[in-house]
Chains A and B, each alone.
Chain A
Amino acid sequence: MDSQWTEPTLGENLAKAGVSRRDFLAFCGSLAAIYSLGGAAGTTPATAAKIAEKLEAVEKPKVVWLQLQECTGCMESTLRSGGTTVEEVVLKLLSVDYNELVMAASGDAANQVLAQTNKEPHILVVNGSIPVNDGGIYCTIGGESAEQVLRDSAENALAILAVGACAVWGSVQASNPNPTGAKGVDQIIRDKPVVNIAGCPPIGEVITAAIAYLLAHDLSLPRLDGEGRPLFAYDQRIHDSCPKRPHFDAGQYVRSFDDEGARNGWCLYEMGCKGPSTFAPCPIVQWNLHTSWPIGAGHPCIGCTEKFFFDRFTPFYQTLPDVAGFGVEASAETIGWSALGLTVAGVAAHAGLTAARNASAKKAEKSEPALLGMPTPKRATYSEENKPSDGRSEETGSK
């Protein structure tokens, strides 16, 4: 992408982009309001003027990119992005001062860089979950618990991106029975908006686009859905944008892997595809420089952008219930809603779930998650601890 960052400092860049000083101060005021919510003991409440002063002096935005309890798949996906490349991100657009996978420094030198950047305004990207059980012994970095590392980096963060299923909800290690108490970022950081870039991992281009979006919009957040996911990537249900949808509507299904239907590229619904319950841009953006995507390569979607998919969507090869058959679109859509935990009474069969959902994302805040997915009672039980958090309305994210 073309960087919006053509001048040396943020102040100059904003001026060039036609952002007035007054608007900028208003923006800083809104940030100050957000920060003051936290009100950590002993800290001076941030003021708009102070934030403005700091922000204007920022040359390239600083980034702290944490990796907590995770598998590094999200960093690997970032390396694969062909949109804004990782080279542009780390060398041109941003100053990624701390990221354990790629940074040169280790040990004390790395910790000093982190401590310094934490004091300054920065963008915080988080991969990985936060294991809170037993005093945080299950993931420590530099002798600190993952929770403490996250809290320290969140304090002065201008924006927080939780990248990947682990950072969003805990993913595989948070699956039943979640022995380490793995939690998502927004279950720990409650006083600031968190953008959830869902997926296991998310598509590389979506990760870097989320960062580029912040830069292109003066660090304001994109519009989010009820689960904190940016609409630019997660507004469409796979079932609605799937090129195999006509086969679903026509009743043309793969009945066994490698059968005639499979070779013809028919619908994988009967093989357990979770596309009807999954919001993700896979069919649109595709993977690895638009080479293919899971359903395109013949495998059913496992729903990895949805919370608790390792529990709700397993067994993976079991057909989603009640979406049976020819042309029964309404039934499929009901499943989509239920699995999302949304109340959808009255959605017209032909309104299209995606459109309806976007129009009423606020519902997510209020409705009790139904946690429907696969009929596997053993897996559908959650303790209070790892219940999905209440979602946020889309307004939370926009300034």
Chain B
Amino acid sequence: MAEQLVIDPLTRIEGHLRIELEHENKQIKTAWSETTQWRGLEQILVGRDPRDAWAFAQRICGVCTSVHAIASVNAVENAIGSNPPAQAKLIRDMVLASQEVQDHVIHFYHLHALDFVNVANAAKGDPAKAVAFAGQIGSKWKGNTVERMSEVRDTVQGILDSGQLSIFSGGYWTHPDYRLPPEADLMAVAHYLDALDFQRSMIRINTVFGGKNPHPNFLVGGMACTIDQNRSESVNQVQIDQIKVWVDETLAFVRDCYVPDALAIAGVYKDYFDIGAAQPNYLAVGMAGATFAGDPRTARVDATGHYAVKPGVILNNDFSNVLEFDPAKITEDIASAWYKYSDGGTSLAPAVGETEVEYTGPKPPYKWLAGTKEYTWCKAPRYDGNVVQVGPVARVVMAYAQGHPRTVEIVDSAVKTLGISLPQINSTAGRTLARAVECLTSAELLAEHTFPAFVANIKNGDIDVFDATKWDPSSWEYECSGYSFVEVARGNLSHWVSIKNGHIERYQCVVPTTWLAGGRDAAGKQGPYEESLAGNGKHPLVDPAQPLEPLRTIHSFDPCMSCAVHVFDADGIETAVAS
């Protein structure tokens, strides 16, 4: 007889996610993915100045800060016909790349690592052995010193001795499936702390251009930060030199610390390449940072240089057949969500999407949600009726299938080292590995292409950052609409806007986590979170009181629940896809 288990709060994610399970004989049989927050901002943007939209949209999420703002300014620029100068686009590319790397690093070390790393065990680690272990896994991180490892061991020991475990209180430290030797746990905890320091430093790339992080400032038509080598109040050689340091430290940390750690954990937990598969369908409009102001087949605006990887869809693991991506094939299903559509059905294209609440769940407090047909605030997007995965795994697969040389090189090497086959990337460990792989290609691109291109342009006298011709609303069409697609940290993001008489008439976002966290559709197909836990009835759950294994799988998706729920959805955008 299957027993029920609720994991709520599911911690170490952004926002509020509840997972309900039925399990039997230490295996998960059924799963429900339940988003338990809705902010209901659907109408808030309606009637506003489109030039303000980025600031509202940015507040969808403070973890993926910047990404919604960048999607928003691109959608508005597409609508009003604004063309930001090349340098403004490069600045946005740098902001996006640094945000993505920082986001992936925080995810791996601070949100995901404790699924594999036993902090309590780290206190038993020998500092010299920890340094040796780091050497064995190819970590050349500058923090791998006996002094540092000793300091960290003492810190951990101090916490344990005090009996006050702080954020480690109630952790699953007695779970039998923590596998790392003490010196590896010690090294990982040291890197956990080093990563905090790293992200604090490198994110200043955002601050130079946007004035703050989280939630830096953006501008429709370009960027507000000026460039001038001969003026102290503009971005000049001082900031260029600073950014150079941060860009270099970004690449160093990812290459020397993150990637070896991710590979080592994937190696120790290798059976997780056979756990946590979802539908082997992938959607991406390019590699991380790919940005389109308009049609994702033609309107590319980023300057990342990864143009060779085109938008595409891969179905049923068929890497040899990359299908053309057609935005018109996206629908959103509400069979399991607390909404109703005016036609009484459960599926609409985002182009004509609606978000009217119809809550049928229990009044809080409640013990169980999955008893009813509807159980989440998250819609369930489908592509041509298929459940698809987005995010680093989808992008790595897309880049690999299209022969992107550096991705092929890194993936082939990892696959060989780990002794796995490529389709196994559709798994808990695979998603975590893919995130590290693309973090390296993104850090390399930032250091070797995007930032040097920005500097070279300055040398050539290109300092324009703003298209003033479309700033005044009187220069806009009376009615216009636009949209954007951006590959952000967690996957494919699109924003859609309709403008009338200088004001927003409709606004909508289709967000990465929505693709992944949604529930069952009208045909009964599970969302990726659900299928990854219950797809084959064999996902391990050794001790329901310590649900470590499902946490590993859900964390491998890097959930961002505030994004997932359709915060800025608005009625019926009749638009942009058609053009």
A-side residues, CB < 8 A to B, are: 59-60, 62, 69-77, 79-82, 85-87, 90-92, 94-113, 131, 134-145, 148, 171-173, 175-177, 179-180, 182, 200-201, 203, 256-258, 262-265, 282, 287-289, 291-300, 302, 304, 310, 314-318, 378
Q: Given A95-B166, A296-B211: A87 and B234 within 8 A (CB)?
A: no
Q: Do the beta carbons of B38 and A180 come within 8 Å of each other? A: yes
Q: Do the beta carbons of A76 and B214 come within 8 Å of each other? A: yes
Q: Do the beta carbons of B56 and A172 come within 8 Å of each other? A: yes
Q: Do the beta carbons of A314 and B215 come within 8 Å of each other? A: no
Q: Do the beta carbons of B166 and A294 come within 8 Å of each other? A: no
Contacts of A177 in B (CB 8 A): 43-44
Q: Do the beta carbons of A179 and B222 come within 8 Å of each other? A: no
* Extra contacts besides A107-B10, A140-B16, A257-B468 (20): CB < 8 Å: A60-B166, A74-B62, A77-B62, A86-B196, A94-B166, A101-B111, A105-B170, A109-B172, A137-B364, A139-B38, A140-B36, A143-B366, A173-B39, A203-B212, A256-B468, A257-B222, A262-B226, A263-B231, A299-B217, A299-B225
Cα A300 to Cα B52 with chains together (Å): 12
Q: Do the beta carbons of A71 and B60 come within 8 Å of each other? A: yes
Cα A175 to Cα B8 with chains together (Å): 28
Q: Do the beta carbons of B211 and A103 come within 8 Å of each other? A: no
Q: Do the beta carbons of B8 and A256 come within 8 Å of each other? A: no
Contacts of B6 in A (CB 8 A): 107-108, 143
- In the complex formed, the residue of A with least CB distance to B363 is A135
Cα A60 to Cα B52 with chains together (Å): 44
Residue B208 CB within 8 A of the other chain = yes
Cα A85 to Cα B365 with chains together (Å): 36
Contacts of A102 in B (CB 8 A): 12, 110, 167
Q: Do the beta carbons of A288 and B207 come within 8 Å of each other? A: yes
Contacts of B363 in A (CB 8 A): 135-137
Distance (whole angstroms) from the CB of B275 to the closest CB of chain A:
18
Cα A298 to Cα B222 with chains together (Å): 12
Q: How many residues of B contact A (CB 8 A)?
A: 103
Q: Do the beta carbons of A137 and B359 come within 8 Å of each other? A: yes
Distance (whole angstroms) from the CB of A375 to the closest CB of chain B:
13
Q: Do the beta carbons of B62 and A264 come within 8 Å of each other? A: no
Q: Do the beta carbons of A175 and B52 come within 8 Å of each other? A: no
- In the complex formed, the residue of A with least CB distance to B361 is A137
Q: Do the beta carbons of B12 and A101 come within 8 Å of each other? A: yes
Q: Do the beta carbons of A109 and B545 come within 8 Å of each other? A: yes
Q: Do the beta carbons of A142 and B8 come within 8 Å of each other? A: yes
Q: Given A71-B562, A79-B106, A87-B193: A265 and B38 within 8 A (CB)?
A: no
CB-defined A-B contacts under 8 Å, sample of 20 = A69-B37, A79-B200, A80-B199, A85-B197, A91-B166, A96-B166, A97-B165, A99-B167, A107-B547, A108-B6, A109-B171, A109-B172, A140-B36, A145-B365, A172-B56, A257-B219, A287-B212, A292-B212, A298-B225, A299-B224
Of the candidates A82, A182, A201, the one whose C-beta lies within 8 Å of that of B62 is: A201
- In the complex formed, the residue of A with least CB distance to B117 is A104
Q: Do the beta carbons of B9 and A72 come within 8 Å of each other? A: no
**A-B pairs with lowest CB-CB distance, top 4:** A73-B62, A265-B233, A104-B171, A297-B211
Cα A77 to Cα B215 with chains together (Å): 9
Residue B155 CB within 8 A of the other chain = yes
Distance (whole angstroms) from the CB of A112 to the closest CB of chain B:
6
Contacts of A317 in B (CB 8 A): 49, 51-52
Contacts of A310 in B (CB 8 A): 44, 55-56
Distance (whole angstroms) from the CB of B41 to the closest CB of chain A:
6
Distance (whole angstroms) from the CB of B543 to the closest CB of chain A:
11
Q: Do the beta carbons of B170 and A171 come within 8 Å of each other? A: no
Contacts of A295 in B (CB 8 A): 211
Residue B540 CB within 8 A of the other chain = no
Cα A344 to Cα B53 with chains together (Å): 33
Cα A85 to Cα B198 with chains together (Å): 12
Q: Do the beta carbons of B168 and A263 come within 8 Å of each other? A: no
Cα A140 to Cα B545 with chains together (Å): 21
Cα A108 to Cα B38 with chains together (Å): 23
Q: Do the beta carbons of A79 and B196 come within 8 Å of each other? A: yes
Contacts of B43 in A (CB 8 A): 177, 179
Residue B22 CB within 8 A of the other chain = no
Q: Do the beta carbons of B201 and A289 come within 8 Å of each other? A: yes
Distance (whole angstroms) from the CB of B550 to the closest CB of chain A:
9
Q: Do the beta carbons of B364 and A145 come within 8 Å of each other? A: yes
Contacts of B411 in A (CB 8 A): none
B113-138 interface (Cβ within 8 A of A) = 114, 119
Q: Do the beta carbons of A287 and B211 come within 8 Å of each other? A: yes
Residue B495 CB within 8 A of the other chain = no
Residue B515 CB within 8 A of the other chain = no
Contacts of A85 in B (CB 8 A): 196-197, 200
Contacts of B159 in A (CB 8 A): 91
Q: Do the beta carbons of A302 and B224 come within 8 Å of each other? A: no
Q: Do the beta carbons of B164 and A59 come within 8 Å of each other? A: yes
Q: Given A72-B62, A109-B546, A144-B365: A172 and B44 within 8 A (CB)?
A: yes
Cα A203 to Cα B199 with chains together (Å): 16
Cα A79 to Cα B105 with chains together (Å): 13
Contacts of B412 in A (CB 8 A): none
Cα A21 to Cα B201 with chains together (Å): 44
Q: Do the beta carbons of B211 and A148 come within 8 Å of each other? A: no
Cα A142 to Cα B9 with chains together (Å): 5
Q: Given A106-B9, A141-B8, A316-B52: A297 and B167 within 8 A (CB)?
A: no
B20-50 interface (Cβ within 8 A of A) = 36-44, 47-49
Residue B162 CB within 8 A of the other chain = yes
Q: Do the beta carbons of B212 and A105 come within 8 Å of each other? A: no
Residue B367 CB within 8 A of the other chain = yes
Contacts of A263 in B (CB 8 A): 226, 228, 231, 233-234
Residue B14 CB within 8 A of the other chain = yes
Contacts of B465 in A (CB 8 A): 257-258
Q: Do the beta carbons of B200 and A289 come within 8 Å of each other? A: yes
Q: Given A106-B551, A201-B215, A316-B52: A264 and B170 within 8 A (CB)?
A: no
B54-74 interface (Cβ within 8 A of A) = 55-56, 59-63, 65
Residue B204 CB within 8 A of the other chain = yes
Q: Do the beta carbons of B222 and A258 come within 8 Å of each other? A: yes
Of the candidates A72, A145, A297, the one whose C-beta lies within 8 Å of that of B14 is: A72
Contacts of A282 in B (CB 8 A): 212
Residue B417 CB within 8 A of the other chain = no
Cα A86 to Cα B52 with chains together (Å): 32
- In the complex formed, the residue of B with least CB distance to A141 is B9
- In the complex formed, the residue of A with least CB distance to B210 is A297
Q: Given A180-B40, A288-B203: A140 and B10 within 8 A (CB)?
A: no
Residue B221 CB within 8 A of the other chain = yes
Cα A142 to Cα B17 with chains together (Å): 9
* Interface hub of B204, B359, B545 (most chain A Cβ within 10 A): B204
Q: Do the beta carbons of A287 and B213 come within 8 Å of each other? A: yes
Distance (whole angstroms) from the CB of A167 to the closest CB of chain B:
13
Q: Do the beta carbons of B62 and A148 come within 8 Å of each other? A: no
Cα A108 to Cα B11 with chains together (Å): 11
* Interface hub of A59, A145, A258, A263 (most chain B Cβ within 10 A): A258
Q: Do the beta carbons of B39 and A180 come within 8 Å of each other? A: yes
Q: Given A77-B214, A201-B214: A97 and B169 within 8 A (CB)?
A: yes
Of the candidates B52, B164, B168, B546, the one whose C-beta lies within 8 Å of that of A62 is: B164
Cα A287 to Cα B42 with chains together (Å): 31
Cα A346 to Cα B370 with chains together (Å): 62
Contacts of A294 in B (CB 8 A): 210-212, 217
- In the complex formed, the residue of A with least CB distance to B217 is A299
Contacts of B166 in A (CB 8 A): 60, 90-91, 94-97
Cα A85 to Cα B155 with chains together (Å): 15
Contacts of A137 in B (CB 8 A): 359, 361, 363-364
Contacts of B168 in A (CB 8 A): 103-104
Of the candidates B61, B199, B359, B551, the one whose C-beta lies within 8 Å of that of A134 is: B359
Cα A143 to Cα B209 with chains together (Å): 41
Distance (whole angstroms) from the CB of B470 to the closest CB of chain A:
12
Cα A76 to Cα B59 with chains together (Å): 13
Distance (whole angstroms) from the CB of A301 to the closest CB of chain B:
9
Cα A177 to Cα B162 with chains together (Å): 49
